[in-house]
C-alpha cells in the first residue's frame, strides 16, 4: 500500500502543500522546527483520525485559520481510494471516496501506518505508560473494536476512581462499586485478552528480527506483565475470574488509595534478552536494538493481519541509529515498504538509495530536490 500524493491546506505551518509521492522512499530534510514532522503527522491523521502528538485537534489547524483540510490518494490491494480529513475547531470530519464516515473510528483499516520516532527508541527504558501506548496503538490500528473498548474503559476507570475517592470520604456507599466493577472487568478483560494474543505473535516476529540484527547472538523475549495473576494458559474466562477475585479481595485497599489498582491501565510489557531484563540491566545499544526489532516486527505483524505492508513513518529516528542498524532497516524496507523519513541531514541516503524522492523543507515550504 502507498500514498500516491498528499494535499495539505492550512495544516500546521503549511498554507497549501501538494506533493506527488514516491512509492518507495520519501526523504524530508530540513533544520529543526521547519515542518518535517507536520507532514508525517498529517499521514498519521489520515490513517487513524488522530494525531500522534496531540489529543486536541484544533492544535493542528494553522494559527491564522479556523479550518484545516488534508487529502490523499492511496493505492491498496489493487485499488485506488481517497481519504479526506477536515478539522474545524475541535471537530473532525472524515470522507473515504467522498462518502462521509459516521464515526472517525470507522477510518481505521483504510490506510495502515507504523510510526517510529525517538520516543520509540526509549520504549524499553521509559515508563510503563509508553509501552501501554505502544501496544494500544498497534492493536487499535487493525481493530476498531479494541479502540472502542479502550475508550469506554478509560471512561469507566475515571468514574470508578472518582467513586473510590467518594467512598473513602464517606460521600458514597460501597454498593455503588458493583456496577463499575462489572464494567471494568468486562471491558478490561477483553483488552487484556487482545493484548496477550497480539503480544504472542509480536514476540515471535520480534525475536526473529532481533536475531538478524544481532547476528544470532541474542534472543529477545516479550512478556505481558499483568497486575492480574495470569500464565500461558489464559482465556477470557480466566482473566475475568482473576480480575473479579482481585477486585473483591483488594476492595478496602483500593478505597484507601482512592484509585483502581488492577487492570490493563496498570499492566506492562517485559523485554528479556538472553533471559536478562534489559529494561533494568541492558545497555543503551541493546535497548535500541530491541526497539528497532519491535518496530520491524510491527511491520511484519501488520502484513500478516492485513495482507500488505503498512506505510512506515520514520520521524527523526534515522540519524539516531548507527550504521549497522540503519543498513538493516534499509534492507528490510527496500522496494517493498513505502517509507517517509525526516532528518536534519542526508545521512548518505541519497548515495545508497536511487529510487527515492528528496525534499527540502523550510518554513512550511517544500521543494523537491530529487525525483526517484
Ligand atoms: N497550528 C500551527 N500553525 C502554524 N504553525 C505551527 C502550528 N503548529 C506548529 N507550527 C509550527 O511548525 C513548526 C514545527 O514543525 P515540525 O514539528 O514539523 O518541525 P520539524 O521540522 O519536524 O523539526 P524537528 O527537526 O525539530 O523535529 C514550528 O515552527 C511551529 O511553530
Q: How confident is the model at residue 352 (pLDDT cuts 50, 70, 90)?
A: low
Contact (CB, 8 A) for 19 and 28: no
The mean per-residue pLDDT over the stretch 313-335 comes to 84
pLDDT, mean over the chain = 93
pLDDT given for residue 60 in this prediction: 97
pLDDT of residue 193: 98
pLDDT digits (tens, 9 = 90+) for 44-79: 999 999 998 998 999 999 999 999 999 999 999 999
Look at ligand 1, atom 28, and give the residue with the nearest C-alpha.
33
Q: Which of 38, 69, 90, 115 to mutate to test the pocket of ligand 1 (most atoms within 8 A of CB)?
A: 38
Quick: pLDDT tens for 84-104. 999 998 899 999 999 999 998
Torsion of CA 76, 82, 83, 86, to 10 degrees: 170
Dump pLDDT digits (tens) for 245-300: 999 999 999 999 999 999 999 999 999 999 999 999 998 888 888 998 999 999 99
- What spacing in Å lies between the alpha carbon of 263 and ligand 1's midpoint? 37
Which of 11, 27, 36, 54 is the pocket-test mutation for ligand 1 (most atoms within 8 Å of CB)? Answer: 36
Q: Was 30 annotated as part of a binding site?
A: yes
Are 139 and 197 contacting, i.e. CB atoms less than 8 angstroms apart? no
pLDDT over 70, % of the chain:
99
**CB neighbourhood size of 82 (10 A):** 15
CA distance 341 to 328: 15
For residues 22 and 273, give the distance between their C-alpha atoms in angstroms, rounded to a whole number.
37
Centroid of ligand 1 to alpha carbon of 340 (angstroms): 17
pLDDT, residue 322, reads 80
Structural domains in the chain plus CATH codes? 121-302 (1.20.1050.90)
**Least trusted range by pLDDT, from 9-23, 130-144, 153-167:** 130-144
Give CA–CA dist 65/71, Å, rounded.
Answer: 17
The grid coordinates listed for 170 are 464517606
pLDDT digits (tens, 9 = 90+) for 199-225: 999 999 999 999 988 888 899 999 999
Contact 273, 203 (CB under 8 A): no
Position 350 scores a pLDDT of 63
ipTM score here? 0.97
- Count of residues making up the chain: 372
The closest alpha carbon to 140, from 107, 117, 118, belongs to 107
pTM of the model: 0.87
* Position 366 pLDDT exceeds 90: yes
pLDDT at 30: 95
Confidence at 351, pLDDT banded by 50, 70, 90: low
Amino acid at each position: 500500500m502507498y500514498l500516491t500524493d498528499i494535499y495539505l491546506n492550512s495544516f500546521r505551518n503549511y498554507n497549501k502543500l501538494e506533493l506527488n509521492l514516491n512509492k518507495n522512499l520519501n526523504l524530508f530534510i530540513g533544520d529543526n522546527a521547519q515542518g518535517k514532522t507536520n507532514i508525517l503527522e498529517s499521514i498519521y491523521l489520515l490513517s487513524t483520525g488522530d494525531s500522534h502528538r496531540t489529543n486536541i485537534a484544533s492544535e493542528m489547524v494553522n494559527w491564522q485559520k479556523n479550518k484545516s483540510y488534508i487529502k490523499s490518494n492511496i493505492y491498496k490491494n489493487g485499488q485506488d481510494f481517497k481519504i479526506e480529513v477536515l478539522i474545524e475547531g475541535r471537530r473532525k470530519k472524515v470522507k473515504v471516496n467522498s462518502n462521509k464516515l459516521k464515526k472517525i473510528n470507522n477510518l481505521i483499516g483504510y490506510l495502515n501506518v507504523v510510526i517510529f520516532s525517538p520516543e520509540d527508541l526509549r520504549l524499553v527504558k521509559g515508563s510503563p505508560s509508553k509501552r501501554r501506548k505502544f501496544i494500544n496503538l498497534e492493536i487499535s490500528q487493525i481493530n476498531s473494536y479494541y479502540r472502542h473498548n479502550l475508550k469506554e474503559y478509560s471512561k469507566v476507570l475515571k468514574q470508578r476512581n472518582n467513586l473510590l475517592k467518594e467512598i473513602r470520604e464517606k460521600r458514597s456507599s460501597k454498593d455503588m462499586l458493583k456496577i463499575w466493577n462489572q464494567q471494568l472487568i468486562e471491558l478490561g478483560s477483553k483488552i487484556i485478552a487482545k493484548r496477550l494474543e497480539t503480544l504472542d505473535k509480536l514476540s515471535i516476529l520480534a525475536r526473529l528480527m532481533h536475531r538478524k540484527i544481532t547476528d544470532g547472538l541474542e534472543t529477545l523475549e516479550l512478556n505481558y506483565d499483568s497486575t492480574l495473576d495470569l500464565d500461558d494458559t489464559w482465556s477470557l474466562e480466566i482473566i475475568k475470574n482473576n480480575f473479579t477475585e482481585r477486585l473483591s479481595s483488594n476492595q478496602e485497599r483500593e478505597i484507601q488509595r482512592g484509585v483502581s489498582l488492577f487492570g490493563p491501565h496498570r499492566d506492562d510489557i517485559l523485554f528479556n534478552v538472553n533471559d536478562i531484563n534489559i529494561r533494568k540491566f541492558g545497555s543503551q545499544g541493546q535497548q535500541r536494538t530491541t526497539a528497532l526489532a519491535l518496530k520491524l516486527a510491527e511491520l511484519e505483524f501488520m502484513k500478516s493481519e492485513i495482507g500488505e505492508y503498512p506505510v512506515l513513518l520514520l520521524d527523526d529516528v534515522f540519524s539516531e541509529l548507527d550504521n549497522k542498524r540503519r543498513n538493516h532497516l534499509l534492507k528490510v524496507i527496500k522496494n517493498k515498504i513505502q517509507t517517509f523519513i525526516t532528518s536534519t541531514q542526508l545521512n548518505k541516503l541519497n548515495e545508497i538509495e536511487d529510487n527515492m524522492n528528496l525534499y527540502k523543507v523550510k518554513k512550511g515550504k517544500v521543494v523537491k530536490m530529487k525525483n526517484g
